[in-house]
Amino acid sequence: MTDGRRVRVLIADDQALVRAGLRAILQRADDIDVVGEAENGQAAVSQARQHRPDVVLMDIRMPGTDGIAATTTITADPELDQTRIIMLTTYDTDENILDSLAAGAVGFLLKDTGADQLRDAVRVVSHGDALLSPSVTTRVLRKLSSRHAKTGARALTELDRLTDRERDVLRQVGRGLSNDEIAAELFISPATARTYVSRLLTKLDARDRANLVIIAYETGLV
């Protein structure tokens, strides 16, 4: 899904071998450049401000400033508003996925993700598309959503703003589907799906698609 534009990536992980492995995988792609590496969250913020990457691959658990804190800082910086963050996680141990998404990450990958999937994920996120790995997203968010449940009153207030079709689209976003997949699921065009997602962002005052996923789970739509 390349459009001729090169994707600039920053890798943040406290393990040198992991960083080297990720770099080797990404540099096999003709359209991806690794512009920097960071061994902790503080260095990730500094490197992001220096290099202005399109995508940061951010380990959640790092000594000192962790990946969630670094993500919060990067996404709050208006000069880095085009930088998108993918969290790197080990599913069996990390309990911070929703916190990462709430901090501004647009998705996450397991550390054992295959090489092709990693490169494709970087491309997808650089184009501003959806959360990654829908099946993994669904499993993890189901596991964690009970920790972030809203009161029934707030849930009803948010859903009351939506039409039936908007609720349908929000439900599919919560499942981790892309706009094309939502279109196929609901028998609408991809352009219409994009319009509905944009409308949901406005109506629900959501920062990005990741926030829509959280809302879908917290309101019980998924």
Residue 140: CB atoms within 10 Å = 19
Find how far residue 30's CA is from the centre of its chain: 23
Q: What percent of the chain has pLDDT over 70?
A: 83
CATH superfamily of 7-144: Response regulator (3.40.50.2300)
Residue 110, strand partner residues: 89
Q: Where in the chain is the domain with CATH 1.10.10.10?
A: 150-218
Query: By the 8 A CB rule, do 14 and 39 touch?
Result: yes
Q: CATH says 150-218 is which class?
A: mainly alpha
Among candidate residues 52, 144, 61, the one with its CA nearest the CA of residue 102: 144
Of 16-30, 80-94, 120-134, the least confident? 120-134
Q: Which residues contact 29 (CB under 8 A, 6 or more apart)?
A: 119
Domain with CATH 3.40.50.2300 in the chain: 7-144
Q: Which pLDDT belongs to residue 80?
A: 95
145-165: pLDDT as tens digits:
555 555 455 555 778 889 999
Between 116 and 124, whose confidence is greater? 116
Tens digit of pLDDT for each residue in 54-102? Answer: 999 999 999 999 999 999 999 999 999 999 999 988 765 666 777 887 7
